[in-house]
């Protein structure tokens, strides 16, 4: 269920759309953590009537009669669980950051290309971690280490970077979890030293509660943006593009380092006009912001055999092109296959983005294209 926020207008003057889970499940082990109580408080305040304290730690009964019903029930369920040690161990996450830290797994939105499709198994509920202290301890234990930004010539000034959005959209669930603001506050306060930086990417605009945090510019928020037509066709349950750009401006004005995750780039007919319009809209959104620190990360659309299968189960009517014959194969070092656009198409898009970013948005520093 997505309802207008009762918290008042956001940066666009409109109320941000907020996801309110229909059902919240709290495992027995999670309930022992103070952060679980904070999540329960937030969910109650948001109007969730169905909050269930489970007698054990297993989440069961998530399947319904049909695939469709299972998907719908899962996307409206928030589970509060404990992250096991294997999940808490920071993992390298090139080309974005030195390390991945997960505050949650799963996302309530409905993007038809969702990059989580191939990496999360089972019904797509959102699991948020109650043992936040232990999850964030990974920042302290890995500060100063890493090969993507730490001690590199190009990005060493970012310090040791920790990506929070590999398995979730942390802003999309922030109003019912509070995990993101707690992480930003602790890193801002120097709890893990002054050489660490958080980063996360989002398709939401509900930034009001982050604006006043003492972040010390140790967090970079990137807004995941796209050509209007791509977003209109394939994003679901997220903030509209103008709202994301207004939120980008608000965060930049509040002193945060900001960025664009332009993804997934798709060469739909007339794509140059669509992406040109996007870059112009971003330029207008950041005009006049003092001390702007703006990066860009550009990711073309790709799929794997398993993500395609999952996505077609979730969105059987999708018009998203996932035609293996129209793509090139890319093999990972572990032997997995990804389907990317053919070399000539990639080269054309890459050249266009390099030139147009320079021309239309010279303030943006391109971190990578993939």
What residues line the site for ligand SF4 (CB under 6 A)? 107, 109, 111, 114-116, 169, 203, 238
> At closest approach, how far in Å is the CB of 359 from ligand SF4?
29
Choose between 114 and 282: whose C-beta lies nearer to ligand SF4: 114
Ramachandran quadrant class, 264 (left: phi over 0; alpha: psi -120 to 50; beta: rest) = beta
Which of 160-199 are b and which e, b meaning 16 or more Cβ less than 10 Å from the residue's Cβ? bbbbbbbbbbbbbbbbbbbbbbbbbbbbbeeebeeebbbb
Q: How far is CA 327 from the centre of its chain?
A: 26
Cα torsion through 352, 355, 358, 359, rounded to 10: -90
**Enclosing H/E stretch for 25:** strand 23-26
> At closest approach, how far in Å is the CB of 243 from ligand SF4?
14
Choose between 109 and 180: whose C-beta lies nearer to ligand SF4: 109
Rounded Cα distance between 324 and 304, Å, is 9
Other beta carbons within 10 Å of 333? 5
In a 10 Å sphere around its CB, with 0-12 CB exposed, 13-18 middle and 19+ buried, how is residue 69 labelled?
exposed
> At closest approach, how far in Å is the CB of 62 from ligand SF4?
18
Choose between 115 and 352: whose C-beta lies nearer to ligand SF4: 115
> At closest approach, how far in Å is the CB of 344 from ligand SF4?
27
Cis peptide before 95 (omega within 30 of 0): yes
Q: In sequence order, which residues have a C-beta less than 8 Å from that of residue 143 and are 6 or more positions away?
A: 160, 192, 193, 195, 196
Rounded Cα distance between 217 and 205, Å, is 19
> At closest approach, how far in Å is the CB of 328 from ligand SF4?
23
Choose between 227 and 289: whose C-beta lies nearer to ligand SF4: 227
> At closest approach, how far in Å is the CB of 238 from ligand SF4?
5
Choose between 93 and 114: whose C-beta lies nearer to ligand SF4: 114
Choose between 109 and 247: whose C-beta lies nearer to ligand SF4: 109
Choose between 90 and 106: whose C-beta lies nearer to ligand SF4: 106
> At closest approach, how far in Å is the CB of 32 from ligand SF4?
29
Rounded Cα distance between 299 and 306, Å, is 19
CB 278 within 8 A of CB 228: yes
> At closest approach, how far in Å is the CB of 248 from ligand SF4?
16
CB 104 within 8 A of CB 126: yes
Ramachandran quadrant class, 106 (left: phi over 0; alpha: psi -120 to 50; beta: rest) = left
The answer to whether the Cα torsion of 254, 6, 136, 221 is positive or negative is: negative
Choose between 88 and 203: whose C-beta lies nearer to ligand SF4: 203
Choose between 111 and 213: whose C-beta lies nearer to ligand SF4: 111
> At closest approach, how far in Å is the CB of 255 from ligand SF4?
25
């Amino acid at each position: 269920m997505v309802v207008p926020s009762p918290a008042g207008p956001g940066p666009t003057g409109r109320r941000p759309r907020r996801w309110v889970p229909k059902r919240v499940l709290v495992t027995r082990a999670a309930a022992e953590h103070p952060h679980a109580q904070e999540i329960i408080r937030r969910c109650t305040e948001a109007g969730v009537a169905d909050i269930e304290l489970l007698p054990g730690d297993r989440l069961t009964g998530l399947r319904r009669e049909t695939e469709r019903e299972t998907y719908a029930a899962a996307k409206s369920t928030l589970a509060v669980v404990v992250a096991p040690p294997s999940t808490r161990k920071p993992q390298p996450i090139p080309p974005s950051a030195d390390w991945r830290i997960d505050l949650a797994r799963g996302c309530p939105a409905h993007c038809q290309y969702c990059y989580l499709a191939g990496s999360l198994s089972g019904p797509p509920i959102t699991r948020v971690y109650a043992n936040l202290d232990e999850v964030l301890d990974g920042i302290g234990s890995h500060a100063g280490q890493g090969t993507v930004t730490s001690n590199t010539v190009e990005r060493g000034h970012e310090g040791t970077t920790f990506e929070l959005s590999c398995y979730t959209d942390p802003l999309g669930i922030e109003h019912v979890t509070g995990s993101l603001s707690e992480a930003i506050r602790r890193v801002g306060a120097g709890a893990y030293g002054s050489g660490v930086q958080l980063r996360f990417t989002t398709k939401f605009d509900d930034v009001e509660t982050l604006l006043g945090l003492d972040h010390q510019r140790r967090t970079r928020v990137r807004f995941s943006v796209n050509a209007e037509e791509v977003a209109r066709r394939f994003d679901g349950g997220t903030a509209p593009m103008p709202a994301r750009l207004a939120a980008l401006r608000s965060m930049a004005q509040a002193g945060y380092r900001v960025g664009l995750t332009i993804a997934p780039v798709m060469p739909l007919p007339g794509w140059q006009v669509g992406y040109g319009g996007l870059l112009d809209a971003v330029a207008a959104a950041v005009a006049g912001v003092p001390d702007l620190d703006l990066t860009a990360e550009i990711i073309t659309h790709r799929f794997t055999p398993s993500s395609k299968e999952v996505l077609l189960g979730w969105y059987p009517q999708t018009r998203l092109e996932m035609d293996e014959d129209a793509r090139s194969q890319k093999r990972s070092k572990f032997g997995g296959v990804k389907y990317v656009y053919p070399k000539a198409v990639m080269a054309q898009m890459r050249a266009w983005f390099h030139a147009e970013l320079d021309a239309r948005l010279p303030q943006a520093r391109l971190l990578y294209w993939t």
